[in-house]
Chains A and B, each alone.
Chain A
Amino acid sequence: MSDHIVFENVSKFYGEVLGVNRVSLSIEPGITGLVGPNGSGKTTLFNLATGLLRPSRGRISVLGIPTDRPQELFRLIGYATQYDSFPRGMSGRSFVTSYLRLYGYTGTEARRLAEEAIERVGLADVAHRKVAGFSKGMRQRIRLAQAMAHRPSVLLLDEPLNGLDPMARAEMIGLFRQLAEDGLHVIVSSHILHEVDMISDTVVLLNHGYVVAEGDIRGVRSEMQSHPMKILIRCDRPARLAARVFEEDGVVEARLAEDGAGVVVATRDADAFYLRLNRVVLEEGLAVDTVMPVDEDVQSIYRYLIGSEGSAA
């Protein structure tokens, strides 16, 4: 059995409106971030992976199982959608338990699994209350509990941190990491970029239905050779360093940092620059305090690739 989630040249059109176009991805175990502004195709991609939508073209398989076989597929997948809606009148506990019964579990098994999941998302004390009375953060968490209660191998989470306070976010991020360490695929979508940067091992960047980049964040960044990367070097003689590095190949900008205590260098070839920097430092006898990329986060990659900041916080 494959351990990848595979999209092969997948397109989805809603009439004449594009959902996603020619998406080819192979997602490995671990935490993968799906990033894009609203309307970029994140939810469409999730809905395609779970068979809630059918692709107009292409094929999708999850751990080797095509998405038109729900009996097998949904034993492997848990999907917490971003639809903030629930069947009316249910308590948190009955919501999770009732849907577990659809898997064929007995009442006792369903209750045990539901309790386990509810405990894990930290809602054990309030699960007896009606979902309608839950806060947005609690509703997020009960959806997560429902998605993971049957112990899936793949967890798809559409904007799972929406509505959570900072403490709850930290707890959830910890939980995602724990689940990934247990060997799950955890795919998290967000339009808030620094969140995904914090959570994910790899990212898939989407815009207007197209995958514009994918891979680990550094890998994606290094693919963009034509986009200068900015590196901050703090040292004892920044003006001297600026003058030296500006002569180096590939460096397109070298300016003093705003606080005057360092140099910000823009280079098209970061790896080559790091090697040359060592030589310059030795030749000039500089005392270097810090060397760090200043834009190697998803936000800057995203801004570069997409040409806007989306709705990033």
Chain B
Amino acid sequence: MSDASAIKSHRSLALRQTLAVARLEIWRNFLGLRALGLYLLAGLPVALVLLFSWGRITFEAETLPAAGGLAREFGAFYGQLFARLVIFFVCLLVFTRLFRAEIQERSLHYSFLAPVRRDLLVAGKFLAGFFAVSLVLSLAVMGSFLVHFLPLTLTSGSGGYGAFLLRGGGLGQLAGYLGVTLLGVLGYGAVFLASGLFFRNPILPALVVFAWEWANFLLPPVLKRISVIHYLQALQPVPPPEGVLALLATPPSPWLAVPGVLLVSAALLALSAWRLRHFEIAYGEE
């Protein structure tokens, strides 16, 4: 076999193995009752928006805001509920368990005993988590967005609703929120996958991260940069208001925010792969 075909064959094997790890993970963690928490948490904002929009259409039909007002509302809603809470907790729920659950149920050794490089195990599991969480949260964001703008059908008729989505920047905003969601899953996913590998009880570090992210608006500009939420909110199509107590900082440009989150995620995944390469199976002692 020539060098080139050997490399190609290795790559093809690595890809097949990564996909096999991802497939196994999806089958095991996202298609059964075990994933109920994920679906409920992701469904929560859709249910809230649905309830809110229904109440508004029913009881406040006379004072419904126009498209611009609704867009500002959604920006605040997304920033406070999705970016700060839902993406964070869904990622916490899913990514910390990717390895931790297997350590707890003493089944991680089955993967370790297969001829798979351990960094591919990290890649496969992260891919599975990213795919499943992104899909579910994207549907939740789309559902919330489309339902939130439903009152437009009253103020400007169903034609107005369609016009806002297609020509008034609605779909562009939706795409922006979806992009931010994917980036959030990437960032928080990498953080929590690593914490599941480094900490026996990842809840405590998760609380610290949560407090740090939640208090981000109070932090001085230099410290704001060391958080995921800072970049996510800056990338929102309509950024949320920071509040009266906030210490204002110049929002990072997309050209800095997107590569920044990607780089930090890659670094955390590399750290996780390093940790897994040195990981020993000693369930009793671990």
* Chain A residues at the B interface, C-beta cutoff of 8 Å: 14, 47, 50-54, 70-75, 77, 79, 81, 83, 85-90, 98-99, 101-104, 146-147
Contacts and interface: CB of A to CB of B under 8 A. Distances in A.
B1 interface: no
B102 to A, nearest CB: 7
A86 B111 CA distance: 11
Nearest to A143: B110
B24 A101 contact: yes
Contacts of A98: 20, 24, 27
B246 interface: no
B115 A101 contact: no
A73 B115 contact: yes
B274 interface: no
A233 B118 CA distance: 60
B106 A50 contact: no
Nearest to A79: B113
A8 B279 CA distance: 22
A98 B109 CA distance: 14
A103 B32 contact: no
A53 B20 CA distance: 25
Interface in B205-258: none
12 contacts: A47-B280, A52-B281, A53-B281, A70-B114, A71-B115, A73-B115, A77-B113, A83-B283, A85-B105, A102-B115, A103-B17, A104-B20
Given A53-B282, A88-B34, A89-B28, A70 B21 contact: no
B122 to A, nearest CB: 14
Contact of B110 (A53, A54, A87): A87
Interface string B259-286: 0000000000000000000101111010
Given A71-B117, A75-B115, A104 B16 contact: yes
Interface string B90-120: 0000000000001001110111111111100
Interface residues of B, number: 31
B23 interface: yes
B14 to A, nearest CB: 9
Given A72-B115, A83-B109, A87-B110, A104 B17 contact: yes
Contact of A102 (B102, B106, B114): B114
B116 A146 contact: no
Contacts, number: 85
A81 B284 CA distance: 14
B113 A85 contact: no
B114 A99 contact: yes
A70 B115 contact: yes
A74 B113 contact: yes
B13 interface: yes
Given A14-B282, A52-B281, A87-B102, A74 B23 contact: no
A176 to B, nearest CB: 19
Candidate in B13, B111, B115, B285 with the most chain A CB atoms within 10 angstroms: B115
Nearest to A90: B28
Contacts of A51: 112
A147 B21 CA distance: 18
Nearest to B13: A104
A71 B285 contact: no
A81 B281 CA distance: 11
Given A89-B32, A102-B21, A104-B20, A52 B105 contact: no
Nearest to A94: B27
Given A50-B113, A52-B112, 16 more contacts: A51-B112, A53-B280, A71-B116, A71-B117, A75-B115, A77-B113, A83-B107, A83-B109, A83-B283, A87-B102, A101-B20, A101-B23, A102-B114, A103-B114, A104-B20, A146-B110
The 7 residue pairs across chains A and B that have the minimum distance between CB atoms:
A85-B106, A102-B114, A74-B115, A101-B20, A52-B281, A104-B13, A87-B107
A67 to B, nearest CB: 12
